[in-house]
Chains A and B, each alone.
Chain A
Amino acid sequence: MSTTPIPAAPGAGQPAPVLSIQNLEVTFATDGGDVHAVRDVSLDVQPGEVVAIVGESGSGKTVTAKTILGLLPETATSAGVVLINGNNIISVSAAKLRQIRGRDVAMVFQEPSTALNPVFTVGWQIVEGIRAHTGKDSRVSSKEAKIRAIEALRKVGIPDPEVRFGHYPHQFSGGQKQRVVIAAALALNPGLIVADEPTTALDVTVQAEILQLLRDLRDSDGTSIVLITHNMGVVADLADRVVVMYQGDVVEEAPVAELFAAPRQDYTRALLAAVPHLGRDSASAGVTSRAHQDRKVLVSAENLTIEYPGRLGSPAFRAVDGVSFTLSEGEVFGLVGESGSGKTTIGRAIAGLNRTTGGSLKVLDYEMLTFKERSFKPLRKDIGFVFQDPAASFNPQLTIGECIVEPLVIHRNPTPAQARQRAGELLESVQLPASYAARYPHELSGGQRQRASLARALILNPKLLIADEPTSALDVSVQAKVLELFRDIQQEFGFAALFISHDLAVVDILSHWVGVLYRGSMVEQGIGSQVMGAPQHEYTKKLIASLPVPDPFEQARRREANRKLLGA
């Protein structure tokens, strides 16, 4: 927990740290008693340094970040010292705190679309921040503030900043919005930026651009960055020094290269081992031809088109545009794409949750174009579905056991004893104790709930399983275990699966055959290891190049290659 001496920023001798946290403790008052979110955290950030705070959900990393800006809710009490420019954030007055925010330290939030006020122009929002910090002696005219705001927008790479100054947040894309948020943070040239999961809500290709922007800012202005993230790839890409947190404590602190090469603590080692790494542990390693082609085809899409009706007067939105693929018995088909690519729409259409509007989609020989709930119902027992958010996909009022046997009750009408027994069997096959059947969903952890969700999908021994981002709501270490379980169970039960994910590395671990979707079209499909290793389509190449790998040296090399690719 001691601060290791780190190489100071270029050009500086031994400068004072921009941020110094000593023995920080934060406690929340909750209905269940006091919760110690942060126990004893000490860390320093030097000028021009990027310090990453990593940890799983509940490790206290976000609370630490909010403390730096004095943004804790009033249910929290904090003790210790958070020094910024000689001011202790924990004990200063509210007025002083307002001065410090924005001028000495600024924050970049996770979700750019909610961090900007939709009813004001982005220019107005940046100017407001600049003018809020003008004292009696240093009044900034609105004209001058506008010039500074435009300058900040230009700095973060918004084209035509003079014009864009007057635009509203909805006129920007997600990545551009995050740039605007960064511009607002930079407007007063703070020495320190706290970035709380700045790229988590963004697609990988956009993420790469934002990381590049943050790196450039550090290099050109010497801004220090505290980066809060759970993504080890992002850490490897951007950070100079890493602080690993676990249950409110700092477990390890080391320069980035040292941490990835030789982690000292068991927890760090386990965390790094759980991170999926593109190109390792591929399900289709060494495979040369598509497997399972001699088996029956369960799902076949031909020129499949799905449209959502537009609002009055605007044309329909085409979410899926002429996609063709087949899925045979026993095969795991991985569907990859960024948000808005139509991957979830395809999965939902196969389960009969969305209507198809053109082409042909045959599910178990049932043509979905002429879908009628009544005639499709008998086929539902052969289709299992695992949802993205395990917390929301269970009825909170029913026990896990009742939820799991729901399909059985609907289709087979078993006696209560039979149902109980089957629920117990299934829970054991997903490695949960059978006694968990009596628990309520909220009494299980995220990973346990997702296992139970898998048990529910499998209770009728379906021929086909659709898994829509089943691990994206889970922590990496939990994700690794769920993926392993999924792979074992798929081999044991032998069902066909459509595995939908935005994470290339995760898809590669499970899938025999991978399809890449881009804006509703299937741009490439092939054997997993071949698509990941030697992508053919431009978009696939860009997608793979943008994915940060959890290894600082390899990532630096990839970044150079990526820059060439993007520049070309």
Chain B
Amino acid sequence: MSIETTSVTPPGGKSLLQRLPIVSHFNRSVGLQRGMLVAGLSLTAVFLLTAIFAPLLAPYGFAQISDSDGSFPAQQAPGGQHLLGTTVGGYDVLSRVIWGTQTAVMVIVVAVTMSIFLGVILGLVSGYIGGWVDRILVVIADAVYAFPSLLVAIVMAIVISGGQSKLWGGILAAAISITVVFIPQYFRVIRAETIRLKSEPFVESARVVGASSIRIMSRHIFKNATRTLPLIFTLNASEAILTLAGLGFLGFGIEPSNAAEWGFDLNKALADTTSGIWWTGLFPGLAIVLTVLGLTLVGESINDLNDPRLRGRKRAGGRRRMARAVPSTAKGTTEESTS
């Protein structure tokens, strides 16, 4: 009875830094879970740093096919001037991969911010007001769920930029299509939390003192309903990259002269594989895999650490061993009640 309540670390009482999502999760983690979190965090940090310092790191520009010594050779194997080789069009693979992180970060930021804002607002209103507003919004959200996300993305790409795009046109097309697909996720989560919180005594006590609906939503429900957002944020970020790469692979991406894009490069590398040219496909592919892996690891670790039943702890009494508080109690409970 007292076990569950004592195991939840209260949010306040510590410095602001220690209460930040990732930092607090790191402090709470132990053993394998800490390893997963650290691995995810390092991969994500490498990804972000590469994006920020791309102009310094990349040996050439993303659309550069020649320098002072003349044109780059096409399909050159890794080594020498071009560490990871060059593509059939004469682009430097290493530079394309490094510049590609920038595109990926921009798409993630634009897509996820837009879907968080819209999803959270719609979820709060729909959950709190209820009635026919709620029903209509839920039906729309379900309808969007039913669409294959790539199909939506393709339609958006055509609507926004006529199918072929400049840098921002391409990024916006990808971002908006991802937004449309992700809004229902945020909407669903926030709406469910809002409905749960609506019947909590502290919301009722706000109603009893006469607080308006807007005040209740913004002051009492909003902060309490958004706890799971860091989790969906990281998981969606990795999905956003996959959608972007998928778009690029299908040819709805960004023209190589406007920005570097991993999916597009993979598409171009398709023909190379049969002739034994592995480097044009391998490195953009690895970049996608590692970025998605990093973000997913962070997301999954946060998920586990948020749940006191899944969170590992140091063994009591100082012995450092992973102890997973898995449903041993629950198991015993059912056993006992029936025996």
Task: Answer yes or no: are A and B bound together in one complex.
Answer: yes
Task: List A residues at the B interface (Cβ < 8 Å).
Answer: 27-32, 34-35, 37, 57-58, 62-63, 66, 69-77, 98, 101-102, 106-107, 109, 115-117, 125-126, 128-130, 132-133, 181, 184, 187-188, 351-353, 377, 380-381, 383, 385, 387-389, 392-398, 403, 406-407, 410-411, 440, 442-443, 456
A504 vs B7: C-alpha distance when bound (angstroms): 35
Contact B10 A106 (CB under 8 A): no
Given contacts A27-B316, A396-B11, contact A383 B336 (CB under 8 A): no
| Between-chain CB contacts (< 8 Å), 18 pairs | A29-B316, A71-B332, A72-B329, A73-B3, A73-B329, A74-B326, A75-B313, A75-B316, A75-B323, A76-B316, A102-B339, A107-B336, A117-B337, A353-B208, A385-B205, A387-B204, A387-B205, A397-B223
Contact B335 A101 (CB under 8 A): yes
Q: Identify the closest chain A residue to B215 (Cβ).
A: A410
A98 vs B334: C-alpha distance when bound (angstroms): 12
Interface centre among A58, A74, A76 (most CB of B within 10 A): A74
B220 within 8 A of partner (CB): yes
Contact B7 A101 (CB under 8 A): no
CB distance from B315 to the nearest CB of A (A): 6
0/1 string, B181-209, CB within 8 A of A gives 1: 00000000000000000001110111111
Q: Identify the closest chain A residue to B311 (Cβ).
A: A31
- B contacts with A, residue count (CB < 8 A): 48
Known: A75-B313, A107-B337. 18 other contacts (CB 8 A): A27-B317, A58-B2, A71-B329, A71-B333, A74-B325, A75-B316, A101-B332, A109-B337, A115-B333, A352-B207, A380-B210, A381-B210, A383-B208, A393-B202, A396-B202, A396-B224, A442-B10, A443-B12
Which residue of A34, A62, A70, A392 contacts B1 across the interface (Cβ within 8 Å)?
Answer: A62
B68 within 8 A of partner (CB): no
Given contacts A27-B317, A74-B324, A393-B205, contact A410 B335 (CB under 8 A): no
Q: Which residues of B contact A383 (CB under 8 A)?
A: 208
Contact A101 B339 (CB under 8 A): yes
CB distance from B325 to the nearest CB of A (A): 5
Contact A442 B206 (CB under 8 A): no
CB distance from A390 to the nearest CB of B (A): 9
Q: Identify the closest chain A residue to B322 (Cβ).
A: A74
Given contacts A74-B326, A133-B339, contact A443 B208 (CB under 8 A): no
CB distance from A89 to the nearest CB of B (A): 12
Contact A443 B209 (CB under 8 A): no
B28 within 8 A of partner (CB): yes
Q: Which residues of A contact B314 (CB under 8 A)?
A: 29
CB distance from B328 to the nearest CB of A (A): 5
Interface residues of B in 237-251 (CB under 8 A from A): none
A29 vs B28: C-alpha distance when bound (angstroms): 12
A429 vs B134: C-alpha distance when bound (angstroms): 44
Given contacts A73-B325, A73-B328, A392-B201, contact A440 B339 (CB under 8 A): no
Q: Identify the closest chain B residue to A126 (Cβ).
A: B338
Interface residues of B in 292-339 (CB under 8 A from A): 313-317, 323-326, 328-329, 332-339
CB distance from B246 to the nearest CB of A (A): 39
A109 vs B13: C-alpha distance when bound (angstroms): 35
- In order of increasing CB-CB distance, the 9 nearest A-B pairs are A129-B339, A102-B339, A380-B210, A407-B209, A393-B201, A29-B316, A440-B12, A27-B316, A31-B9
A30 vs B9: C-alpha distance when bound (angstroms): 9
B274 within 8 A of partner (CB): no
B6 within 8 A of partner (CB): yes
Which residue of B1, B200, B210 contacts A57 across the interface (Cβ within 8 Å)?
Answer: B1
Given contacts A29-B315, A385-B208, A395-B224, contact A109 B325 (CB under 8 A): no
B270 within 8 A of partner (CB): no
Which residue of A72, A98, A381, A440 contacts B13 across the interface (Cβ within 8 Å)?
Answer: A440
B211 within 8 A of partner (CB): yes
Q: Which residues of B contact A71 (CB under 8 A)?
A: 328-329, 332-333, 336
Q: Which residues of A contact B3 (CB under 8 A)?
A: 28, 37, 63, 73, 75-76
Which residue of B204, B209, B223, B224 contacts A410 across the interface (Cβ within 8 Å)?
Answer: B209
Q: Identify the closest chain A residue to B213 (Cβ).
A: A373
Which residue of B11, B28, B202, B335 contacts A395 across the interface (Cβ within 8 Å)?
Answer: B202
A116 vs B336: C-alpha distance when bound (angstroms): 10
Q: Which residues of B contact A187 (CB under 8 A)?
A: 339
Which residue of B317, B326, B339 contacts A128 across the interface (Cβ within 8 Å)?
Answer: B339
Given contacts A37-B2, A184-B337, contact A75 B208 (CB under 8 A): no
Q: Which residues of B contact A387 (CB under 8 A)?
A: 201, 204-205
Q: Which residues of B contact A389 (CB under 8 A)?
A: 201
Which residue of A35, A385, A392, A406 contacts B200 across the interface (Cβ within 8 Å)?
Answer: A392
CB distance from A308 to the nearest CB of B (A): 14
Q: Which residues of A contact B316 (CB under 8 A)?
A: 27-29, 34-35, 75-77
Contact B210 A410 (CB under 8 A): yes
Contact A352 B208 (CB under 8 A): yes
Q: Which residues of A contact B209 (CB under 8 A)?
A: 380-381, 385, 406-407, 410-411, 456
A124 vs B201: C-alpha distance when bound (angstroms): 39
Q: Which residues of A contact B207 (CB under 8 A)?
A: 352-353
Q: Which residues of B contact A70 (CB under 8 A)?
A: 332
A39 vs B2: C-alpha distance when bound (angstroms): 15
Which residue of B2, B7, B208, B328 contacts A74 across the interface (Cβ within 8 Å)?
Answer: B328
A132 vs B336: C-alpha distance when bound (angstroms): 11
Contact B205 A456 (CB under 8 A): yes
Q: Which residues of A contact B211 (CB under 8 A)?
A: 406, 410
Contact B223 A101 (CB under 8 A): no
CB distance from B299 to the nearest CB of A (A): 21
Q: Identify the closest chain B residue to A460 (Cβ).
A: B209
A30 vs B224: C-alpha distance when bound (angstroms): 23
CB distance from A10 to the nearest CB of B (A): 28
Q: Identify the closest chain B residue to A76 (Cβ).
A: B316
Q: Which residues of A contact B332 (CB under 8 A)?
A: 69-71, 101
CB distance from A464 to the nearest CB of B (A): 12
Q: Which residues of A contact B215 (CB under 8 A)?
A: 410
Interface residues of B in 217-243 (CB under 8 A from A): 219-220, 223-224
Given contacts A116-B337, A128-B339, contact A388 B201 (CB under 8 A): yes
Q: Identify the closest chain B residue to A133 (Cβ).
A: B339
Q: Which residues of B contact A403 (CB under 8 A)?
A: 202
